[in-house]
């Protein structure tokens, strides 16, 4: 059985945003059962046994029989390969979806994550006040570009795939920044993703661990 490694607890402002949500969601979409192994911030992260699994001490990590993986994109792609529900069988379709996974992580997530971090934790610091306007413009540009791709479509490749799963989890970090209000196409796309029953189950599973540890 697949095991997903996740945090026992994180501060309230980032609960629901931790990246183990991504493989949880992928597994829920495919109806694949999994177990979770929860690690604590600090000591567990720095332990030799966990660093052997995840060299940077982050989450998620995954065990699938003898296979061990880390990084959410790699894990989601591995899970998606188990069913054409998340990754098409044809070569062109697979490569297109894989490209969108990389786009979410490489073109969208860097400015989104940095802006979200400022919004959640550093908004009162002087360096953040200077950095924030540039990041907002960067994110607005990326959202506008993505909106053009999605205009007239529910999903990036015409149907829901692992590319959408990854993109939606990245975009969720913008909640509370106000930037989504300026892009109704993106906002509606995010809402469609979050409305999926599999997403709701994955989110509930992640939050349940935090509630138990509170």
Question: DSSP of 55-91, one letter per residue?
Answer: TT--S-EEEETTEEEESHHHHHHHHHTT-TTTS-SSH
Question: Using an 8 Å Cβ cutoff, are 80 and 87 in contact?
Answer: yes
Q: Is 7 left (phi over 0), alpha (psi -120 to 50) or beta?
A: beta
Contact predicate 174/116, CB 8 Å: yes
Same domain, 101 and 179: yes
Q: Could you tell me the CATH number of the domain that includes residue 207?
A: 3.40.30.10
Q: Do 190 and 128 share a structural domain?
A: yes
The reply to whether omega before 163 is within 30° of 0 (cis) is no
115 and 81 fall within a common domain: no
State the pLDDT at residue 203. Answer: 98
What order of strands is seen across the sheet that includes strand 67-70?
34-39, 2-7, 61-64, 67-70
| Residue/partner pairs of 152-155 with CB below 8 Å, 24 or more apart | 154/189, 154/192, 155/189, 155/192
pLDDT for position 47: 96
165 and 144 fall within a common domain = yes
76 plus 144 within the same structural domain: no
Number of domains in the chain: 2
**How many whole angstroms separate alpha carbon 193 and alpha carbon 20?**
16
The pLDDT score that the predictor gives to residue 213 is: 84
The alpha carbons of the chain give a radius of gyration, in whole angstroms, of 17
- Measured over the CA atoms of residue 42, residue 47, residue 49 and residue 53, the dihedral's sign is positive
Mark whether 117 and 57 lie in a shared domain. no
pLDDT of residue 148: 98
Q: Supply the pTM of this predicted model.
A: 0.97
Domain match, 184 and 96 both: yes
In this structure, the answer to whether residues 202 and 186 fall within a common structural domain is: no
Are residues 186 and 99 part of one domain?
Answer: yes
Shared domain check, 103 and 35: no
Q: Which residues contact 20 (CB under 8 A, 6 or more apart)?
A: 4, 5, 6, 7, 36, 59, 60, 72, 206
Q: What is the pLDDT along the chain (214 residues), one digit of tens a residue?
A: 999 999 999 999 999 999 999 999 999 999 999 999 999 998 899 999 999 999 999 999 999 999 999 999 999 999 999 999 999 999 999 999 999 999 999 999 999 999 999 999 988 899 989 999 999 999 999 999 999 999 999 999 999 999 999 999 999 999 999 999 999 999 999 999 999 999 999 999 999 999 988 7
- The CATH number that applies at residue 174 is 1.20.1050.10
pLDDT of residue 142: 98
Full domain range(s) for residue 80: 2-85+198-213
pLDDT, position 114? 97
Same domain, 55 and 103: no
- Both 63 and 150 in one domain: the answer is no
């Amino acid at each position: 059985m697949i095991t997903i490694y996740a945090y026992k607890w994180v501060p309230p402002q980032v609960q629901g945003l931790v990246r183990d949500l991504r493989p949880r969601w992928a597994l829920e979409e495919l109806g694949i059962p999994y177990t979770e192994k929860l690690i604590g911030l600090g000591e567990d992260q720095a332990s030799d046994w966990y660093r052997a699994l995840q060299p940077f001490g982050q989450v998620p990590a995954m065990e699938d029989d003898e296979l061990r993986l880390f990084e959410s994109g790699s894990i989601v792609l591995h899970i998606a390969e188990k069913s054409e529900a998340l990754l098409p069988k044809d070569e062109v379709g697979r490569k297109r979806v894989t490209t969108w996974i990389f786009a979410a992580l490489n073109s969208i997530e860097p400015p989104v994550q940095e802006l979200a971090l400022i919004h959640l934790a550093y908004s009162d610091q002087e360096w953040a006040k200077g950095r924030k306007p540039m990041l907002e413009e960067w994110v607005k540009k990326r959202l506008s570009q993505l909106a053009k791709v999605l205009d007239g479509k529910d999903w990036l490749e015409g149907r829901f795939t692992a590319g959408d799963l990854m993109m939606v989890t990245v975009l969720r970090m913008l909640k509370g920044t106000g930037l989504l209000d300026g892009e109704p196409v993106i906002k509606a796309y995010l809402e469609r993703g979050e409305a999926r029953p599999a997403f709701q189950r994955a989110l509930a599973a992640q939050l349940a661990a935090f509630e138990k540890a509170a």
